[in-house]
Amino acid sequence: MRVKFVAIFVAVCFLGFTPKSKANELDNAAACSGVVLGNASIDYSLGDEASFNEGVSLAITAYLSEVLQSSAATEDIAIADQILATNTDKIINAANTETFDANVYEEVVKCYRRVASLLLKNWKIIEQNSDKIDLLITQRIKLLKRILSAG
């Protein structure tokens, strides 16, 4: 019994003092980028194409800058992509079901701030990879407009 207690205590202490993982940072970037993409999609559905384009550009640039600067494994990036898509859907669904309340609004504002901090933190990587990022942004804007305009 004492050995089990000591093993659990050591494990908890070890886990409590480990630095944040690269995957966790990437997941957080994906989560907020998804929220910003969802909010941009709402702008598009309300007829504000300029805000949509800017929101998509900010979100994708921030997310890709974090992907490019991290040494995350391919499976971690795939999970982060799913987190991004889930949070995009969450914000769109909140608008469609009229549950976009003050809490959701605060999350959107928090995520715009997080995206801005990622852009500032990763500006060198963004500058070095601007052609790749711009190409992907153009592709995603076209794809999202097609998806949002369907039906």
Q: What's the pLDDT tens digit per position in 91-113?
A: 999 999 999 999 999 999 999 99
Question: For the stretch 103-134, what's the b/e string if a residue is b when 16 or more beta carbons lie within 10 angstroms of its beta carbon?
Answer: ebeebbeebbebbeebeeebeebbeebeeebe
pLDDT class for 4, splitting at 50, 70, 90? very low
pTM score: 0.84
Q: Which of 94, 22, 91 is nearest to 52 (CA)?
A: 91
Q: What is the average pLDDT score of the chain?
A: 89
Domain locations along the chain: 22-149
For 98, the token pair is 């009229």
pLDDT of residue 9: 41
